């Protein structure tokens, strides 16, 4: 049996996406003049849809 495609679900099982997600959120917030000094403050953005998190 051969496979044409192999998919990896990188939701935290194989990798830790926290630093990438929090850095992205920090960058977006900085564009609006919002500074965040601690990545842990942004962990709430991991999981829920970004649209919902930014609305709050």
What are the tens digits of pLDDT across the range 23-36? 999 999 999 999 99
- The full DSSP string for 4-53 is S------SSSSS--HHHHHHHHHHHHHHTT-----GGGGGGGSSS-HHHH
Of the listed 9, 11, 16, 38, which one is catalytic? Answer: 9
Does the active-site annotation cover 38?
no
pLDDT at 43: 92
Return the residue matching tokens 């965040």.
36
**3-56: pLDDT as tens digits:** 999 888 777 777 888 998 899 999 999 999 999 999 999 998 888 887 888 888
């Amino acid at each position: 049996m051969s496979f044409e495609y192999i998919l990896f679900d990188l939701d935290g099982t194989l990798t830790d996406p926290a630093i990438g997600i929090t850095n992205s959120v920090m960058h977006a917030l900085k564009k609006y003049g919002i500074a965040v000094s601690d990545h842990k403050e942004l962990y709430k953005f991991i999981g829920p849809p970004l649209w919902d998190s930014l609305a709050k």
